[in-house]
Amino acid sequence: MPSLYAVTKTLSLQTKKRFFHKENLNCNKMALNYDKDGLDKDFEKDGRLARNMFNITTNKKQKEMKTVYDFSLTDKKGNSVSLADYKGKVLLIVNTATGCGFTPQYEALETMYKKLRDKGFEILDVPCNQFGHQTPGSDEEVTEFCTMKFGTDFPQFKKSDVNGANALPLFTWLKEEKGYAGGAYEAKLAKVMEDLYNKANAEPRKQNDIQWNFTKFLIDREGKVVARFEPTVDMKEVEKAVEVQL
């Protein structure tokens, strides 16, 4: 009888992984049975090979499982800020703009921040100019606008891209964790938004990309993404979701 190694050596790596995953739990028992019967003296070695490959695959997947703490943002002075600094807190990460129809949401965000920050809540504000060029000012001008008009006090970071080739790694990960569910915008508005976006960017939006300013990602105390809110979602609903995590 051919050994497990002989049977699987011609298979693709992906097929081997599936095979070993399926057979792994029975490897020890089967190896002993084969040894007793004298049918396959190599099976015990092959069983160890199966377990080792399975463990390597599992460990790799575990290492690839990221949290928000694996990322950093750049502040307005150009300093890198590790999001590990926010461990144990509930976060709302928002891409913002100063000249958008949704810009008045700054007021609701600041009200929520003042109400909940003592319970371990933080808002991370990332201004972005990709959506209709609605954030044309410098980082200093954006901060001045927000503090003067809305009295914002939550952390605001360097203006950055959230879509495309230059998107922040943080936002690439956020979009992978929670893609765009669709249906958040009326067809007419969606067409206007798409046209404005395409005029401002060389690369069209992908399915799970940020659709517009003031998209929000809710992060739990373990650094995992638990919800994505399009800017059309009522801020009262966003606040309720935040309170559930606190």
CA distance 201 to 179: 20
Residue that has been written with the tokens 């040894």 in this structure? 35
Whether 128 is catalytic: no
Beta bridge partners of 227: 218
Classify the C-alpha dihedral 236-131-212-67 as positive or negative: negative
Of 27, 100, 128, 146, catalytic = 100
Residue that has been written with the tokens 């503090």 in this structure? 147
Name the residue among 78, 109, 107, 64 with its Cα closest to residue 91: 109
CA distance 168 to 157: 12
Beta carbons within 8 Å of 15's beta carbon, 6+ residues apart = 8
Active site residue ranges:
100
